[in-house]
Chain A
């Protein structure tokens, strides 16, 4: 079965740029999306189709996908961005989630 791997945690100082990778075999041949989840809340879609932002998502969120890695980048990270982030792809009629990355803004 298809698998997506993410680092368990990443930290970034406020105002800096952070990138969260998501790796899977030939992931660049598929579409990736990203969700943000804050404690006690439902996930929120922040990137879809590799790099598109839904309405209402700040421009500081961006995405890319090539080779075996999709990347979520947050520019000018704010304290409110501290959350868990999950990548997701679709393979053989199955939805696959990465294990999640806890982003700490310190």
Chain B
């Protein structure tokens, strides 16, 4: 059974950089049919896609966050990572990593999710 686990600091100061890692177990991150994504959810609000990465390193980012986001992959560790720079209180959220079933036909969906990790931006 595929499992994803987020890890990283739960508290980040304003203007600093948020960094999270997702470790994938029970399957290979190098599978050809999948991207690996980050999604966040501010307290009491809806889901927001941050971006996704393919095992080759190819990325897609949410245009509204693109200037501050970098997502990378480490196939040797079966991990992918998120960095979000210049954070503010608006970046306080539960951050989820998930597997994205990807098809050029347009069918894209997240079928496995991590448990999520709360990141609070505060001094």
User: Do A and B assemble together?
Assistant: yes
Contact between A86 and B108, CB atoms less than 8 A apart: no
Contact between B101 and A48, CB atoms less than 8 A apart: yes
Cα of A94 to Cα of B39 in the assembled complex, Å = 12
> Is the C-beta of A33 less than 8 angstroms from some C-beta in chain B?
yes
B60 contacts across to A, CB distance below 8 A: 93-95
Query: How many of chain B's residues have a CB under 8 angstroms from any CB in A?
Result: 25
Pick the contact of B111 from A1, A54, A98 — CB < 8 Å?
A54
A90 contacts across to B, CB distance below 8 A: 106-108
Which B75-117 residues have a C-beta within 8 angstroms of A?
A: 96, 100-101, 105-111, 113-116
Q: Closest residue of chain B to A86, judged by CB?
A: B47
Which of B46, B49, B108 is packed against the most chain A CB atoms within 10 Å?
B108
Min CB distance A61 to B, Å, is 14
> Is the C-beta of A60 less than 8 angstroms from some C-beta in chain B?
no
Contact between B52 and A30, CB atoms less than 8 A apart: no
Contact with B along A7-44 (1 / 0, CB 8 A): 00000000000000000000000110101010000111
Once A and B bind, how many residue pairs between them come within 8 Å at the CB atom?
A: 63
> Is the C-beta of B62 less than 8 angstroms from some C-beta in chain A?
yes
Which of B39, B46, B111 is packed against the most chain A CB atoms within 10 Å?
B46
Cα of A12 to Cα of B24 in the assembled complex, Å = 38
Interface size class of A (residues with CB under 8 A): 20 to 34
Contact between A95 and B108, CB atoms less than 8 A apart: yes
Known interface pairs A42-B116, A94-B60; A30-B106 also in contact (CB < 8 Å):
yes
**B: which residues have CB within 8 A of A?**
37, 39, 46-49, 52, 60, 62-64, 96, 100-101, 105-111, 113-116
* CB<8 Å pairs between A and B, sample of 7: A35-B110, A43-B96, A45-B110, A86-B46, A94-B60, A95-B52, A98-B46
